[in-house]
Structure 1
Amino acid sequence: MTPTKLDDLLATARSTPAGMDPSKAQEAVFQALLDATVYAHVPSKRPPEGRMRFFQFIRPDNGQTVLPFFSDRTQAEQPLRDGVSIVAMSGRRLFELTRGATLILNPNIDAVALYPPEITAILEGRELGYFAQQEPIDNEALLARLPSVSTSEVDEVLRELFDREGTVRAAYLVEVNTQGNKPEEFILLGVVAGSAAKERLLQLVTLALKTKSPRMDLPLSIAFFAPDEVLPDICHRGIQFYGT
């Protein structure tokens, strides 16, 4: 099979070195998907006139129902169960037909989940952005305090998102100054939510901030905390702007 432009872009995205921002490579993939031929699974039995049905599955890692699609036919064929056929169409057509569903690209290789708001953004030509999660922080190796810069615009964007999603128990903003060989200064967004919602929230927070572009005078990092774990002391040194 001759490699396509999408194949080349996916290879570039996969090879982005750890620690480097992969957003440019990822955005190129998302935009190329619109015009590329992609493949999905449908029932072999013909559906009623005017309808199209796609196969979905439940992800074992977070329990979400997702609709798989593939960048090449070879992946779509492995494995192919009885009663399942492969349909080919442009990525744009697939996105339009499956609005409201969560899609996952190349689930056995890339496993890139695309949530409904992200699919809408891709169809509209908007960038999704990129947001790395903050690694665990050693409380003894930092100074944490109330934000010294305005966070009102960030607060507004995130409260609106969290109200819609309904999976966030609480959220905090803390100004952090790390100590050591590579000192950093940033605002930490601490989100209390179940582990099943973490991926979705990370991607939708990223999209909301990229779309609304609220004023941020310091870089913003994000960390997630489970509702049943003890909230780190660092969160109590900042402000709680969401939840009770």
Structure 2
Amino acid sequence: MSTVSEGELEHWFEQGMQSYTNESRFFSCLIRAMVYAYVPVSDDSKNVRLIQFRHPDGYDAIPFFTSAQRAARSSFNGLRTIRLPCTTLFEQTRGATLMVNPNDGGAVLFPEEVATLLQSGTLETFEKVSLGEGPVDVRPATSAPDNLIRALDGNVPLPPFIREIYLLEKRAVDGRSSRASLLIYAGVEARQMERGARHLVSVVQALDPRPEDIVDVAVFDIAQAKPGFLDEIGGIPVFASGD
């Protein structure tokens, strides 16, 4: 597997920041590149210990950088920068959350996504959009693909922070003739909302065959009162943890 130059990696990082359609190309370059991370200046440990920071959403993550310049711009006293293959970084930090170029709006990579990158050599991306403007008619799904139902009802291992999953369909109220789209609506622990949504996106992306229609994913805080519309439409979860 050929090594990607720092200049090419930087180019595709910038392209990925401009459009999510370029993100897969960036990730395929990232896994073949050298990257930069922080370690303590003084460390008595025999093993390399990387620095973690607290993400604003409340979890710890390891920052790393696509260029020496980005790493130097973010560094401060007590740290030094090391350069290493991205694959080595990912393999030696399995189970951790990482942030690429955190001061420049780069992606958070959750453990499941790191594992996918190591296995497949890239990472499929998705577009973050609102669930639609104007009133929407939501009801339990009646024609979801069988493999999607099986994936959500426990046949695919789900992380413990995903506690409930509803499979719904939605359509604009003013477009009765429009085709309904599927909506995966999940109750997730508050600190893991984004990770839960992205995990479910990855579940959909891994289906074979893929659903022909668009599948949206939305989450709610499982610790709060269940959204009232679920009872109004007779929503029954296709998955509920035993907790």
Q: TM-score range by the shorter chain?
A: 0.7 to 0.9
* Contact 2:167–2:237 (Cα < 8 Å) also in 1: yes
Task: Give the counterpart of 2:12 among 9, 12, 19.
Answer: 9
Change over 3 Å in CA distance of 1:41–1:221 after alignment to 2: same
Residue 49 (structure 2) aligns with: 53
* Contact 2:17–2:106 (Cα < 8 Å) also in 1: no
Task: Give the counterpart of 1:216 among 211, 217, 229.
Answer: 211
Report the more deviating stretch, 173-182 or 51-60.
Answer: 173-182
Task: Give the counterpart of 1:145 among 133, 139, 152.
Answer: 139
1:154 equivalent to 2:120? Answer: no
Unpaired runs of at least 5, structure 2? none
* Contact 2:181–2:215 (Cα < 8 Å) also in 1: yes
Identity %: 22
Deviation string, structure 1 residues 172-227 (Cα, Å, up to 9, x no partner)? 11121213379452011111223321111122112222223355353211112223
CA distance in 1, matches of 2:18, 2:189: 31
Task: Give the counterpart of 2:160 among 162, 166, 169.
Answer: 166
Letter in 2 for 1:178: A
Task: Please give the residue correspondences for 1:187-198 in structure 2 after superposition, counting only pairs within 5 Å.
Answer: 187-198=182-193
Residue 88 (structure 1) aligns with: 83
Change over 3 Å in CA distance of 1:76–1:241 after alignment to 2: same
Q: Compute the TM-score of the two structures, normalised by the length of structure 2.
A: 0.83
CA distance in 1, matches of 2:212, 2:150: 16
SS at match of 1:78: helix
Change over 3 Å in CA distance of 1:205–1:161 after alignment to 2: farther
- Aligned length in residues: 234
Task: Please give the residue correspondences for 1:174-193 in structure 2 after superposition, counting only pairs within 5 Å.
Answer: 174-180=168-174, 183-193=178-188
Bigger RCO (CA 8 Å, 6+ sep):
1
Report the more deviating stretch, 150-159 or 112-121.
Answer: 150-159
CA distance in 2, matches of 1:132, 1:236: 29
SS at match of 2:199: helix
Report the more deviating stretch, 232-241 or 62-71.
Answer: 232-241
Unpaired runs of at least 5, structure 1? 17-21
Residue 19 (structure 1) aligns with: none
SS at match of 1:53: coil
CA distance in 1, matches of 2:8, 2:203: 29
Change over 3 Å in CA distance of 1:235–1:209 after alignment to 2: farther
Change over 3 Å in CA distance of 1:223–1:134 after alignment to 2: farther
1:242 equivalent to 2:226? Answer: no
SS at match of 1:4: helix
1:105 equivalent to 2:113? Answer: no
Residue 229 (structure 2) aligns with: 233
SS at match of 2:237: strand
1:65 equivalent to 2:68? Answer: no
CA distance in 1, matches of 2:103, 2:194: 17
1:33 equivalent to 2:30? Answer: yes
* Contact 1:143–1:178 (Cα < 8 Å) also in 2: yes
How far residue 232 of structure 1 moved from its aligned partner, in angstroms, is 4.4
Deviation string, structure 1 residues 130-150 (Cα, Å, up to 9, x no partner)? 344562567x83333332314
